[in-house]
Chains A and B, each alone.
Chain A
Amino acid sequence: MSLQYHLKLSPGDVAPYVLLPGDPGRVPLVASLWDESRVVASNREYVTFTGTYRGVPISCTSTGIGCPSTAIAMEELARVGATTFVRIGTCGSLQERVRTGDIAIFDSAARYDGTSSLYAPVGFPAVADHDVVEAAVAAGRELGYPFHVGTTRTADTFYALHPRPGSSFGDYWQSSWRDHFEDLRRMNVVAAEMEASVILVLARIWGLRAGGVAVVLDDVLEVSGESGRFDPQEQFEHGGDEIERLARMGSEVVRILAERDAAA
């Protein structure tokens, strides 16, 4: 197996530890925190940098938005030698205690996506590797960021499933959406995003390791308010600060994991 079709990566191009943001534009930003880095591939929504962070080999590959493109990234990264996947992304909060700017550490995901069900039945758990969760908890403590360990809801939609008309174009809406977020809140789900489930399911079935950390940009239950109007450009908290915190968190998780792996 040599050059991969979508990612344009070959064996040797990536470190065993790979950070996975969605946005290709964020990859150079993440890599700017490292000791040294170089771009090793760029094709479609897939941009990959490889380098070292505090002495630890590390890579960062963007997945694009959603589970289908993320599964392709995972398949091809695994083929070129990646063994540990840490998603770094943004999310909305479903719990009052989880506030904008906080970090969510995903130990599991509720599977409202299509792709992961094509690999394993929906009853199969989307669960993070224990080592990754423990490393993320240690990273959160060291960096002094407020963090929460819990379950995320991964869904294949950004604009659908909101409780009131106003999120999808033209006020398109379905009554089954009304209680989606509220029911998740009652299940103690902490966050909502679009990629974690497929990352966790694929890593688990392949015997590889994965986990996820995300910075909270909004409160899903409040963001559209009484009007139902959902305007992420206006409503999301998107200072450079949140994304740098996320990049720092992801890089530290990899460093801690690599150091613990070396000690084991």
Chain B
Amino acid sequence: MSLQYHVELSPGDVAPSVLLPGDPGRVEVVASLWDEARQVASNREYVTFTGTYRGVPISCTSTGIGSPSTAIALEELARVGANTFVRIGTCGSLQDRVRVGDVAIVDSAIRADGTSALYAPVAFPAVAHHEVVDAAIEAARDLGVRAHVGTSFSTDLFYVPEPGSAFGGYEQSAWRERYADVARTNALVAEMEAGVLMVLSRIWGLRGGAIALVADVAEERDEAGVWDPQASFDVSEEPIDRLARMGCETIRILTERDRMRRA
């Protein structure tokens, strides 16, 4: 197996541990925190940088939005040698205690996506590798970041299923209590990629996990009852820098622990 069709990577192009943001524009921001970095590929929504962070080999590949493009990135990254996947993305909060600017360490996901169900029945758990969770907890402690460990609602929809969020006021009766019911299950946040990342990592025997910056409150509406992410999301430089640092530190801690165990 050599050059991969979508991500345009070959074996040797990536480190064993890969950070996975959704936005290709964020890859360079992440890599700017490293000791050294170079762009190794760019095609469609897939941009990859590889380098070292505090002496640890590291890569960052954007997945695009949603589970279908994320599954393609994971399939091709695994083929070129990646074995540890850490998603770094944004999310909406489902709980009062989880505030904008906080970080969610996602240890599991509710599978409300289509792609992961094509790999394994929905009864199969979307669960992070415990070593990734543990490294992320330590990273948050080191960095002094307010973090919560818990479940994410991974859905294929951004503008639904909430009254007031789809175009033209389109809604379905089944949506009315959708987020409220999800919140009642104690899920912390909602986002769009963690579920498939965890299912694929688990079935392949690789390590996966996810860290998500809380950018908004999922149920928040303006005075007109409309949900406007452009106005309400906080994705300014400071919180995105915090997310990127959380990801890099998680991989550093994981890699150093791996080395200690081997020694």
Chain A contacts to B: CB under 8 angstroms: 107-112, 120-127, 130, 133-134, 137, 149, 151, 186-189, 204-207
Contacts and interface: CB of A to CB of B under 8 A. Distances in A.
Interface residues of B, number: 28
Given A123-B122, A125-B109, A130 B130 contact: yes
Interface in B89-123: 107-112, 120-123
Given A125-B151, A188-B204, A110 B130 contact: no
Contact of B123 (A110, A149, A205): A110
A189 B125 CA distance: 10
A122 B186 contact: no
A187 B151 contact: no
B107 A127 contact: yes
A130 B187 CA distance: 15
A125 B125 contact: yes
Given A123-B112, A188-B203, A188-B204, A111 B127 contact: no
B170 interface: no
B110 A125 contact: yes
21 contacts: A108-B108, A110-B121, A110-B123, A111-B125, A120-B185, A123-B110, A123-B112, A124-B187, A125-B111, A126-B125, A130-B107, A130-B134, A130-B137, A133-B130, A149-B130, A151-B127, A186-B203, A189-B124, A204-B108, A204-B151, A206-B186
A207 B151 CA distance: 11
Contacts of B212: none
B66 to A, nearest CB: 16
Interface of B: 107-112, 120-127, 130, 133-134, 137, 149, 151, 184-187, 202-205
B202 A130 contact: no
Contacts of A122: 122-123
A9 B126 CA distance: 35
Given A108-B202, A127-B125, A187-B202, 7 more contacts: A120-B185, A123-B110, A127-B127, A127-B151, A130-B133, A130-B134, A204-B151
Contacts of B149: 130
A121 B122 CA distance: 10
Nearest to B111: A123
Q: Which of B108, B125, B127, B205 has the most CB of A within 10 A?
A: B125
A124 B112 CA distance: 9
A110 to B, nearest CB: 5
Given A130-B133, A137-B130, A110 B124 contact: yes
Contacts of B111: 123, 125
B79 to A, nearest CB: 18
A109 B110 CA distance: 13
Contacts of B130: 107, 130, 133-134, 137, 149
